[in-house]
Every structure is written in structure tokens, then in C-alpha cells.
Amino acid sequence: MNLEKHFTTTYKYNSWGDTETRSGPGSNRNSNLVKETINFVINCINLFYKERDTISIADIPCGDFNFIDLLLKEILLNTNCKQINYYAYDIVPDIENDFNNKLIRIENVKYNFKVLDATKEIVNSSDIILCKELFIHLSFEHIIEVIENFKKSNSSHLICIDYEGYENKEDITYTWPGECRIVCLTKPPFNMPIPLFSENNYKIWNLKNI
């Protein structure tokens, strides 16, 4: 399966149909999901990195950066963090144009971008891997490969959306752009441990314990 081609088609033709962002309604700046993302990341930093004045975040997939400035700004305002090393990754090569031209940059953030296939490549070692909605778009096999590569990165924590109690009966076949379904990472075939902390559909794990 050519994942780059699949997700590039999804991005190019705006398959989720949002008028604000090609990353879909879950990345709309005023969406409830973006608000939940910001609140959860801040809560996790205050729980697990309270004394840190510098933090590194690997954002995968970063999409078209529609809301990331809101998240980074709120982290600097609502935690002890004074500097953020932000590593953005996406499988779609065209996202580099968004990185260079759309991304709203703020002070005290160091920005990095790389085109990357997380099923085959390893992200930079980071305090937090923010993997907002990747898994709902990947097959079971590819999810397992991504999690293994996250572990190999020697990053500390994984934050992602997870639907507790779902039985994972429906797999992704990549037959149409934007294809998605929900997953539960503590259920087979993933069998991840109980998360350290959860809120709404967001969860955080220590990658060293997976």
C-alpha cells in the first residue's frame, strides 16, 4: 500500500470537506476537539513536566498547521515551560509548503519539519509524541508498526485519541480518501496498558512501559 499517495490524495482533494483546513474538521480552530487537545496537553505537561522550562513535542501527523499556534501559545502561557522544540512530521510532501507559508510562528518555539512515513521511519526523540488522529486512519497492521517505531525513538510519552471499550472489529482498507474508523489501543490486537491519565477521548502513555 502506498500510504504517501493515499494521504496526498486525501489532502489534495480536501476529502474531509472542511472549508478552513485540509486536515479536516477536527483541526478547525474553533472545534471542540482542538479545545480538548489544548487542555489535555497542558494538563499532561503540568502533571509530568511541571518543573521543566523546556519541552520537546513531536507532532505526527502535523497536517496543515491550522491550529498548532494556539496549542503552543497556550503551553507557554499555562505551564512553566519557556521554550518548546517542536518537531512536525507528515507523510504528505505538500505539507512542507504549509510549514513554510501557512504556519503561524510564535516566539520561544524552535520549529522543525520533515516528511516522514511513521510506519517505516523513526521520529526525533521527544518528551511528548502528539499523535492526535493518526490511528483512526491506519490499518491495524500499520498502527502496530507506528507504535513500535515510536518506542524505538526513545521518546517519553505518547498522547493520542483513544476510544475506550471499542472492540476493534473494523479495519482500514484504504479504498477511499479520508477513510477512518475509531480504535481502542488497550484492546486486541494492540493490548496497550492502562494509560497514565485520560480525559474525554484523550490518553497519555509512558512509551517505556508499552
Structural domain spans, the chain: 3-209
pTM of the model: 0.96
pLDDT in tens, 110-125: 999 999 999 999 999 9
Whether 81 and 128 have beta carbons less than 8 Å apart is answered as no
The DSSP annotation for 165-178 comes to T----------STT
C-alpha cell at 178: 479520508
pLDDT in tens, 23-56: 988 899 999 999 999 999 999 999 999 999 999 9
Percentage above 70 pLDDT, the chain: 100
Q: Which CATH class is domain 3-209?
A: alpha beta
* Alpha helices in 49-107, H assignment, sequence order: 68-78, 95-101
The span from the CA of 69 to the CA of 108, in Å, is 12
Strands 202-206 and 157-161: antiparallel
Residue 40, C-beta contacts closer than 8 angstroms, at least 6 positions apart? 159, 199, 200, 202, 204
Q: Count the helices and strands in the chain (H runs, E runs).
A: 5, 7
pLDDT in tens, 71-88: 999 999 999 999 999 999
